[in-house]
Amino acid sequence: MLNFYQTYFLSRTCNKLPHTMPSAWTNCCAVRPWARRYELDLPMMMKYTLLAILTLFASKIHAELLTKVVVIDSEFNVFSEITDSQELSKFKELWDSRDEVILRTQPVWTHTIDVTPGERWLYSNRGYAQVLSKQALGMYKIDRVAQFNEQLKIYKKALQVDR
């Protein structure tokens, strides 16, 4: 006697009613071997799970490697560009020192920073940064603002714009 799940499974995969022929599953799969695709293959599932985990870790490691940082001024002109590996490592050190903050007022965005791979950020010469997005996302404050501005080569011009 077949239970409900076996009956439903056989009727969906073999297009035969299981109560009409006791060997419906055997006859069906002999004619159409692809009907076994619903069987659980644990070693294959483990392989796919491992592949998914490795892919996620590989993409995370790849995302950590910066290749280029472009600074765009308020008039949408390329202000400076960082491609040297030593300068990129200094930038990453300063960039990772940012902390999320809550401000009452929106700062004046003086520049846009394109981090590749990554996002486009709005940047204020006071050290505030926010991802350019339609949604309201968190705002961040760079810890060492003067060093960061010098790294981006915007310190002197940014102070003139902000005052």
Whether residue 48 sits in one domain with residue 77 = no
Whether residue 111 sits in one domain with residue 129 = yes
Domain that holds residue 10: 4-63
Q: Which residues contact 157 (CB under 8 A, 6 or more apart)?
A: 73, 79
Whether residue 92 sits in one domain with residue 43 = no
47, 63, 79 - which closes a domain: 63
Whether residue 149 sits in one domain with residue 73 = yes
Whether residue 101 sits in one domain with residue 55 = no
Question: What is the per-residue pLDDT across 107-158, written as a single tens digit (0 to 9) for each?
Answer: 999 999 999 888 899 999 899 999 998 888 889 999 999 999 999 888 655 4
Whether residue 20 sits in one domain with residue 96 = no
User: Would you state the pLDDT for residue 123?
Assistant: 94
12, 29, 63 - which closes a domain: 63
42, 63, 84 - which closes a domain: 63
Whether residue 73 sits in one domain with residue 52 = no
Question: What is the per-residue pLDDT across 54-99, written as a single tens digit (0 to 9) for each?
Answer: 777 665 544 457 889 999 988 889 988 999 989 999 999 999 989 9
User: Would you state the pLDDT for residue 162?
Assistant: 45
User: Would you state the pLDDT for residue 65?
Assistant: 79
Model's pTM, two decimal places? 0.56
Total domains in the fold of the chain: 2
Question: What is the per-residue pLDDT across 25-34, written as a single tens digit (0 to 9) for each?
Answer: 454 555 555 5
**What is the average pLDDT across 35-52?**
65
Separation between Cα atoms, residue 57 and residue 38, nearest integer Å: 29
Separation between Cα atoms, residue 82 and residue 95, nearest integer Å: 13
User: Would you state the pLDDT for residue 154?
Assistant: 81
Whether residue 97 sits in one domain with residue 82 = yes
φ/ψ of 71, rounded to 5, equals -105, 125
pLDDT band at 159 (very low <50, low <70, confident <90, very high): very low
Determine contact, residues 90/66, Cβ cutoff 8 Å.
no
Q: Which residues contact 59 (CB under 8 A, 6 or more apart)?
A: none
Whether residue 153 sits in one domain with residue 143 = yes
Whether residue 157 sits in one domain with residue 84 = yes
Determine contact, residues 145/131, Cβ cutoff 8 Å.
no
- How many other CB atoms are found less than 10 A from the CB of residue 63? 10
Whether residue 47 sits in one domain with residue 86 = no
User: Would you state the pLDDT for residue 9?
Assistant: 59
User: Would you state the pLDDT for residue 63?
Assistant: 45
In this predicted structure, the answer to whether residue 7 has a pLDDT above a threshold of 70 is no
What are the helix (H) ranges across 15-131? 24-31, 42-64, 85-95
User: Would you state the pLDDT for residue 113?
Assistant: 93
Whether residue 88 sits in one domain with residue 45 = no
